[in-house]
Amino acid sequence: MQVPPGASPVTRRLALAGAIVALDQATKSWAVAALADEPANLVGDAVRLRLVRNSGSAFSLFTGWTPILGILAIVLIVVLWRMGRQEADRATAIALAVVLGGALGNLSDRIFRAPGFLSGAVIDFVDVGPWPTFNVADSAITVGAVLLILRGLRRQT
């Protein structure tokens, strides 16, 4: 996704979030098609790709609360969008856009995947050692959150 020269900072942040959503959804579509029958080991059993449908939140907590998690995600997305539009610090605004892209990616699953609106399971497929299985959106949320924490710590010094 190419942003036109001279685009506003808000447009650039929205493009970043959109690129994360596009990458997330493309990799999830691939995972559903390629990993449905069996997992693929990349580095022995330590790193593998396996299809998991997560109806809960991070770490598969709150399984069965999918509609509530979807509504909370919508609220979070609105808050992230408003904060990102108003944020003057470029690094913080980029981190917010990265989290926004991840949140939109997982919300898309909850809205558009079976069994239906706000009931869909999030597609996870990266399985690394003892960590819960995750996806591109989860990675974006984590990276963005770490950047926000680091930026907040830097502002305090």
pLDDT tens by residue, 139-149? 999 999 999 99
**What average pLDDT does this structure show over 99-113?**
96
In percent, how much of the chain has pLDDT > 70?
98
Confirm whether 130 is domain-assigned: yes
Q: Are strands 122-128 and 40-43 parallel, antiparallel or unpaired?
A: unpaired
**What average pLDDT does this structure show over 68-92?**
93
Catalytic annotation, pick one of 24, 109, 127, 138: 138
- Number of independent structural domains in the chain: 1
The answer, yes or no, to whether residue 1 has pLDDT greater than 90, is: no
Owning domain of residue 68: 11-156
Give the model's confidence band at 96: pLDDT under 50 very low, under 70 low, under 90 confident, else very high.
Answer: very high
Give Cα separations from 45 to 37, 65, 128, 135, 154 (angstroms).
Answer: 17, 31, 8, 18, 38
| Cα–Cα distance for residue pair 32/37, rounded to 1 Å | 9
Catalytic annotation, pick one of 24, 109, 124, 127: 124
Confirm whether 108 is domain-assigned: yes
pLDDT tens digits, one per residue of 20-39: 999 999 999 999 999 998 99
Confirm whether 3 is domain-assigned: no
Q: Mark whether 124 is an active-site residue.
A: yes
**Residues in contact with 143: Cβ distance below 8 Å, sequence separation at least 6, in sequence order:** 98
Q: What is the pLDDT of residue 35?
A: 97
The answer, yes or no, to whether residue 84 has pLDDT greater than 70, is: yes
**What average pLDDT does this structure show over 51-71?**
84
Confirm whether 91 is domain-assigned: yes
Q: Which of 2-6, 64-68, 101-105 has the highest mean pLDDT?
A: 101-105
**What average pLDDT does this structure show over 82-109?**
95
**What average pLDDT does this structure show over 45-62?**
87
Confirm whether 65 is domain-assigned: yes
Q: What is the pLDDT of residue 59?
A: 67
Confirm whether 1 is domain-assigned: no
Q: Mark whether 138 is an active-site residue.
A: yes
Confirm whether 35 is domain-assigned: yes
Confirm whether 143 is domain-assigned: yes
| Cα–Cα distance for residue pair 26/16, rounded to 1 Å | 15
